[in-house]
Every structure is written in structure tokens, then in C-alpha cells.
Amino acid sequence: MPIKSLFENAVFNWVLISSIVILMIITNGILALKTIEDLSSTQNSLYNTGDIIVELDDLHNLVLMAETGQRGYLLTEITEYLTPYQDALGRLCAQLNDTKKLRSEVPGQAKRIASLILLVEQKINELTKTVELALAEKEKSALKQVMTGRGRDLYKELRAELEQIKTLEINYRNSLFTVLSAVEREAKATFIISGITSALLLLGLAFFAKLNARSEAKHRLQLEQQNEMLAEKVAMRTKELTLYSD
């Protein structure tokens, strides 16, 4: 069948239009779902790495608070310093439990976080031991323990490990922001493509509607011509029969 005849066929036109509409809906739906999934995944990763950074900062601050309380009590033997020390120590233990639940998406971070937790636990033991010696009226032993530099060395290791973990998380967060920007640009492109395809679809519908109108007009003209021919033949036959009967 010639292509021109196909386009003049109303059934073919509507089947073609329906196929194009379904194809466009499926395509736009797939693009929209992919964009939503990418945005959701990136945002979840951003929330996760942000939580890790906040938890690490809280852990670091509590270590500093506990150490400040310990040093204050050892130097002054004023019991008021024990209150912030004990408060920080209690919160530090709870914070450690939260830190153990962290799940980083950065390769190798699980081992680094485990190493950090071990260092914090060692630091807690060092703080607790010196304060217990002081409370047992063994201030000289406690100060001697502090002067060994073990607590200072632990803090340096702890801080170095913590800074490395934070730096990696911040770098990863920055890369996620780059990904998020790319996904947003992709979403805009998808929206533009969807708008263009919708406009083309409307033009296609108008084109096929015009073809159908032309086809219907042509068929109507053909029917009118056939009717006129039939009317002429009937008139001629009637005239012949009239003459024959006369």
C-alpha cells in the first residue's frame, strides 16, 4: 500500500498517534523516575555524610570537655571540676555508641572509625584512671601518670585520625554536591525535552487531524460524485423505460 494511502487511512492514523503518545509517556516517565531516584540517592548520601561529620565533631568536643574537667580537678583538687568531667564522660560513652552505628559510604572509613573508637576508649581509660587515683588521695601518682605524656599522645593520635576521617567525608560531601548539581541540570534538560516532545506531539496531532479532515473531505466528494453519477444513470434509465413503454 502506498505511503500516501496509509496516511489517508483514519484507522492507521489513530493507531500511529496512539503509539506515539504511549511511547512519549513511557519515555518521559522513565526519564522522570531516573531523575527522582538520582536526586533521592544523592540527598540520602548527603544526609548520611553530614550526620557523620556532626557526630565526629560531637565526639571530639566531649573528649575535650572531659579532658578539661580532668586537668582542672588534678591541678586544683576542687570537686566542682568533677561535675563537667563526669557529665562529659557520661555523654561521651553514649556518643561512642552512636559513633559505632555510623555507616560511611567512603571506602576504608569503617576501619578508620573503628580505630578512632579504640583511641577514644583508651583516652577514656586514661582519664578515668588518673581521676580515680586523685580521688583515692594519690594525687602525686595521678600527676605522675599525666606527666608521662600518654594522655597527650593519645589525644594527638585521636585528633589526627578524626581529622583524616572528617577531611575524607567533607571531600565526599563536596563531590556529592557536584553530583547533585549535575542531576539538577539533568532534571532541567529532561523537563525541556519533555516540553519539546509534547509540542512536537501536539503538532503531530494537528497534522494527522488535518490529514483526516482532508481524507474525509475527499471521501465525501467521491461519494457525492458517485451519487450524482447514480442519479444520472437512474434518470437515463427511467427515460429509456418511459420511451420504451410509449
| More confident call, 57 vs 213 | 57
Residue range 90-96: average pLDDT?
88
CA end-to-end distance (rounded Å), the chain? 51
Residue range 117-132: average pLDDT?
85
Q: How far apart are CA 92 and CA 98, in angstroms?
A: 10
Could you read off the pLDDT of 45-88 as tens digits, one per residue? 889 999 999 999 999 999 988 888 877 777 777 777 788 888 88
Residue 142 has a pLDDT of 58
Q: At what angle do helices 109-135 and 82-100 cross, to 10 degrees?
A: 160
What is the gyration radius of the CA atoms in the chain, in angstroms? 42
For residue 107, the SS3 value is coil
Quickly state the pLDDT bin for 170 (edges 50, 70, 90).
very high
The answer, yes or no, to whether residue 137 has pLDDT greater than 90, is no
Residue 8 has a pLDDT of 53
Burial level of 157, CB count in 10 A (0-12/13-18/19+)?
middle
Residue 61 has a pLDDT of 92
Q: How far apart are CA 30 and CA 35, in angstroms?
A: 9
Q: How far apart are CA 31 and CA 23, in angstroms?
A: 12
Residue 69 has a pLDDT of 82
Residue range 1-14: average pLDDT?
56
